[in-house]
Structure 1
Amino acid sequence: MATYVLIPGAGCDPWYWHPVADDLRGRGHEVVAVDLPCEDPAAGLAEYTDTVVDAIGDRTDLVVVAHSLGGFTAPLVCARIPVDLLVLLEAMIPKPGETLADWWAATGQAQARREQAERDGRTVGDLWDDFLHDVPPDLAAGLRERDREQSDGPSHQPWPLDAWPDVPTRVLIGSDDRLFPAGFMRRVARERLGITPDEIPAGHMPMLSRPAELAERLESYRTALSGE
């Protein structure tokens, strides 16, 4: 069986992975939901990477799943230790030398978000609207209760790799994502990795809104790679 390593997005407690983590454990896998030092302004990409590697310990057969901001950390983990598969889940895809702060303008995210809202016939809401529009109310309330401050610690450090690590990589996006619209993510994944993403009918938080579908998709990637 595999070890799934779940790397969170900005300001997120590992709790928000629990529906999909429970599903994966029910399939016999080990799950490591990483608690990043997101509130520590002294913690940057190196410290985030160290935290993930330390949480993994001596586990093997690793499937690393990175959500949103986790896309900046996950490839650094893959450059440090052997990883069987990397899944970018609605994740930011950095370029060598790019900072997190620069990523937004470099990719055109704000314009893409605004244009998607116009196509949907709505105004751009706050981030909670973008995050939680398709999440069940009880889980949405739980996420709000666990909201953590995301420090600027990793924001101004150039992404340190010269190239994407040599690890099988899949990109999975939400067809209803309001923060990172599907068309925007298709373009970024194609331009930066040469990958055509797969899609799941979900917003930005499929681990809460579509956990069973997400677990099934992750398992399909793993079994396709392993030949099971």
Structure 2
Amino acid sequence: MTAFVLVPGSFTGGWIWQEVADRLRASGAEVYPVTLTGAGDRRRLAGAGTDLETHIEDLTQLIDHVDAPEVVIVGHDYGIHPVLGAAGRRPERISRIVYLDTGLPQDGVPALALVPDHELRDRLLDPAEPTGDDWRIPPPSPDGWQIWGSTAGLPAEALSKLSRLAAPQPRATLTRPLRLTGAVSGLPTTGVLCTANGSTIARVEAMVGFGDPRFKALTEPGVTFFELDTGHWPMLSAPDELTRVLLAAAAGEGHRVGARSGEQPSHLRPFLLDVAERPRVRTGRVDLHLPEAEHPCPAVLLVHGGPIPAATRPTPRDWPSLVGYARFAAALGAVGAIVDHRLHDLADYGRAAEDVAEAVELVRADRRVDGERIALWFFSGGGLLAADWLAAPPPWLRCVAATYPVLGPLPNWGSMDPRFRPSAAVGSAGGLPIVVTRVGLEAPAIAATVEEFLAAAADCKADVEVIDVPNAHHGFETLDRIDEARDAVDRAVRAVVGHLQG
């Protein structure tokens, strides 16, 4: 007999699991939907001293009273923090921990560190002692849940119920650091990723490939993953699908992450086109791949995506895909430039924008470059950095390109500086040519930002060329060695360089 302990996230209680709990019980499992102290119908039990330790004790006591020999404990959102705390105290009782659309808590770090809205984080992590009712955080307004996660797939009545039954979250539950024990690291785990909230298995595999030490544990044999094509509250938007996933997770099923022995990470595999090597000059954060020419040539500056861990090696300017694009541009008579900008965290977009602007000036000032003919080409999460250039295109900017771009903040990124919204900026682009490469097998949350941008571009009659690659994935240049992918790269490079030569 398996018992499922279902732990809710911020502002919610055991009521949120009702539909999933009913389905799990129908399968023959024991089910314990948890209402933590201060949540749901236990909100009156909370006080200024209610913190993460209170919730860990809630779960520890519950586990002690479960008779089933196997306990699968599920943590949604904030709920994973007390789950890990309790599992560390009763590891012998836990058969699997399920991370339901949540981040990876670190020892000594509070739950609030995983909240994507950095302004909210900074405000709530203020060291000043809370006074009066400040010891609790009011729940979101009916139209404010998006700050905490995507509401995609939620029926109107479910969203209304979420708002109606939400309770204030005791502030100290989010600000008290989590203390992990070594016992937790040996327990089997499953990650359930909600793709409409911006999380995908492909993204996890990419982070593992970047060498981020925080993700190394995800390659262990006892770790599995599932995806759900819905938003951040799947227990309300997709209860049938979530139930099936939880039962499969309890059985040890799911996708396993990690490259096969000797296999390179996807971003380091060879470029899909054979492009001749060109002379390369490295200055600061910028590499220039030079064409065969005795006169100044136009230039294409390639801007990588992210966030990418700061310790990633090699850095993006040595990745086969970007080097391949730069060499291809050089073969067509343009300088192919690549910048290593510092987008290491969602809060780094401002710094990355400064790095790109500095790289532009460096490239334009180079004696081998015609500074009046420049194109900027943005990839993946670097797409948000295009907004500055669309909002006020200088006369020397002849083209902006974007390949499998993120063109708006993803749902699990929280609120961001409105400066980085290409959909709002494109209305000021005038006649600037824009080349967008759109992949058909894109993550739903990213695809939605592209469609929003294209709709805004159509409304203002911007000059946009869309190159579709229906059977290609995000990062297809080293993943999809198919003719339509090769054709798309060829067409995109020739289009961008063509705008520089016209």
TM range (shorter): 0.7 to 0.9
What letter matches 2:195 in structure 1?
A: S
Give the drift of 1:44. Answer: 1.5
Q: Whole-Å Cα distance in 1 between the matches of residues 206 and 11 of structure 2?
A: 23
Aligned to 2:101: 90
Aligned to 1:45: 52
What letter matches 1:8 in structure 2?
A: P
Alignment of 1:52-71 (within 5 A): 52-56=59-63, 57-60=65-68, 61-71=70-80
Q: Give 2:164's match in structure 1, choosing from 145, 153, 156.
A: 145
Among the aligned pairs, what percent are the same residue?
23
Aligned to 2:323: none
Give the drift of 1:142. Answer: 1.8
Whether 1:175 and 2:199 are equivalent positions in the alignment is no
Aligned to 1:36: 36
Could you tell me the TM-score, scaled by structure 2's length? 0.38
Structure 1 pair 188/22, CA: closer, same or farther in 2 (3 Å)?
A: farther
Q: Whole-Å Cα distance in 2 between the matches of residues 74 and 145 of structure 1?
A: 26
What letter matches 1:73 in structure 2?
A: P
Aligned to 1:74: 83
Q: Whole-Å Cα distance in 2 between the matches of residues 189 and 54 of structure 1?
A: 36
Q: Whole-Å Cα distance in 2 between the matches of residues 206 and 24 of structure 1?
A: 15
Give the drift of 1:53. Answer: 2.0
Structure 1 pair 200/183, CA: closer, same or farther in 2 (3 Å)?
A: closer
Moved over 6 A (4+): none
Q: Whole-Å Cα distance in 2 between the matches of residues 144 and 183 of structure 1?
A: 27
Structure 1 pair 93/22, CA: closer, same or farther in 2 (3 Å)?
A: same
What letter matches 1:36 in structure 2?
A: L
Aligned to 2:289: none
Whether 1:134 and 2:134 are equivalent positions in the alignment is no
Q: Whole-Å Cα distance in 1 between the matches of residues 96 and 79 of structure 2?
A: 15
Aligned to 2:204: 186
Q: Give 2:178's match in structure 1, choosing from 159, 175, 188.
A: 159
Give the drift of 1:140. Answer: 2.1
Aligned to 2:363: none
Give the drift of 1:52. Answer: 1.2
Secondary structure of the corresponding residue to residue 132 of structure 1: coil
Higher alpha-carbon deviation: 190-199 or 22-31: 190-199
Structure 1 pair 188/206, CA: closer, same or farther in 2 (3 Å)?
A: farther
Q: Whole-Å Cα distance in 1 between the matches of residues 52 and 190 of structure 2?
A: 22
Aligned to 1:10: 10
What letter matches 1:137 in structure 2?
A: A
Secondary structure of the corresponding residue to residue 154 of structure 1: helix
Q: Whole-Å Cα distance in 2 between the matches of residues 166 and 73 of structure 1?
A: 17
Secondary structure of the corresponding residue to residue 224 of structure 1: coil
Give the drift of 1:89. Answer: 0.2
What letter matches 2:74 in structure 1?
A: V
Larger radius of gyration: 2
Contact 2:5 2:72 in 1 (8 A): yes
Matched positions, count: 205
Secondary structure of the corresponding residue to residue 49 of structure 1: helix
CA root-mean-square deviation: 2.5
Whether 1:224 and 2:224 are equivalent positions in the alignment is no
Whether 1:200 and 2:219 are equivalent positions in the alignment is no
Contact 2:150 2:196 in 1 (8 A): no
Give the drift of 1:131. Answer: 4.5
Q: What are structure 1's unaligned runs of at least 5 residues?
A: 112-124
Q: Whole-Å Cα distance in 2 between the matches of residues 187 and 43 of structure 1?
A: 37
Give the drift of 1:7. Answer: 0.5
Q: Whole-Å Cα distance in 2 between the matches of residues 215 and 51 of structure 1?
A: 24
Deviations 1:116-172 (A, max 9, x none): xxxxxxxxx732584433112222222221011012122232211254432101111
What letter matches 1:172 in structure 2?
A: V
Give the drift of 1:110. Answer: 3.8
Aligned to 2:300: none
Contact 1:100 1:155 in 2 (8 A): yes
What letter matches 1:146 in structure 2?
A: L
Contact 1:6 1:66 in 2 (8 A): yes
Secondary structure of the corresponding residue to residue 88 of structure 2: helix
Give the drift of 1:100. Answer: 2.2
Contact 2:74 2:98 in 1 (8 A): yes
Q: Whole-Å Cα distance in 1 between the matches of residues 51 and 34 of structure 2?
A: 15
Higher alpha-carbon deviation: 66-75 or 30-39: 30-39
Q: Whole-Å Cα distance in 2 between the matches of residues 145 and 188 of structure 1?
A: 39
Q: Whole-Å Cα distance in 2 between the matches of residues 183 and 216 of structure 1?
A: 18
Q: Whole-Å Cα distance in 2 between the matches of residues 154 and 142 of structure 1?
A: 23
Aligned to 1:115: none
Give the drift of 1:201. Answer: 0.7
